[in-house]
Amino acid sequence: MGHGQCDDSAAGQSNPRRYRALFISDVHLGTKGCQAEALLDFLRDHDADTIYLVGDIVDGWRLGTSWYWPQAHNDVVQKLLRKARKGARIIYLPGNHDEFLRDFYGTHFGGIEVCETAIHETADGRRFLVIHGDFFDVVVTNARWLAYLGDWAYVTALWVSRHVNVVRRRLGLTYWSLSAWAKSRVKNAVNYIGRFEETLAAEAGKHGVDGVICGHIHSAALRDIGDFTYINSGDWVESCTAVAEHADGRMEIIVWRVRPVPAARRALIRAAADLSNAA
């Protein structure tokens, strides 16, 4: 089936890697947890004929309560619009956090198409249903208040993780995620993810396709479930993952790590900031 996963932490080529398609979800622009700089770095190094934005790209829930939109978040939007102008087809499939865009199905914004779902056909002839996935989350659909409570708990876990990792970095330790740890240890969370994956695989069967590509649960995956392939593109809050289709139809999870900024470049950035502040 052409499954695979790579770590692009050492990437940094001058010419972007080109893929047949890229799938990105759960960026959550408008939140402090969003790793916009990492995504911008990724977009500089990766191009595709078609880019699917698989929901929760902008976090309308969070922006509705407090406005947070730093320059890096704007830069991500501008980068995507620039890719569209250069010929990439960009398809935006809204999720629950950017559900305000569901009123605009069938329209275009700066060359970005807004769709409810999409069918993606790979180079080797397989067909995938592309959808955010929140409609198959019983908490989101049947207990809205509980979904908001879960969102608050997740944001709190991110806050704890950020402070813990300040200390870990000083000790030379790697990044640690409280929410990811909880997902892997708490039986109900593990069962929830399993049920979600099985439900999406069943939905693929109803559509007569070979698999599904989704987001929503912030857990990247690429596996066969029965006769169908389940693919989740993960998120850009903690894991920084995307899914890519190669020219031969092979699907791959890309795990991205931000490249260290050289000391000389850091000095230039600081100097530019100082000049800007002086002005």
Do residues 2 and 251 lie in contact, with contact meaning Cβ atoms separated by under 8 Å? Answer: yes
Average pLDDT value for residue range 100-118: 94
Q: Which residues pair with 58 in a beta bridge?
A: 29
In whole angstroms, give the CA distance from residue 253 to residue 2. 11
Average pLDDT value for residue range 114-128: 97
Cα three-residue angle 182-199-129, rounded to 5 degrees: 110
Backbone angles phi, psi at 20, to 5 degrees: -75, -40
- Angstrom distances, CA of residue 244 to CA of 16, 25, 228, 236, 271: 13, 12, 18, 15, 37
Average pLDDT value for residue range 212-227: 93
Domains of the chain, CATH where assigned: 5-132+211-278 (3.60.21.10)
Q: What is the pLDDT of residues 226-277, one digit of tens each?
A: 999 999 999 999 889 999 999 999 999 999 975 544 444 444 545 544 554 4
Give the β-pairing of 112-114 and 89-92: parallel
Q: State the pLDDT at residue 179.
A: 55
Does the pLDDT at position 278 exceed 60? no
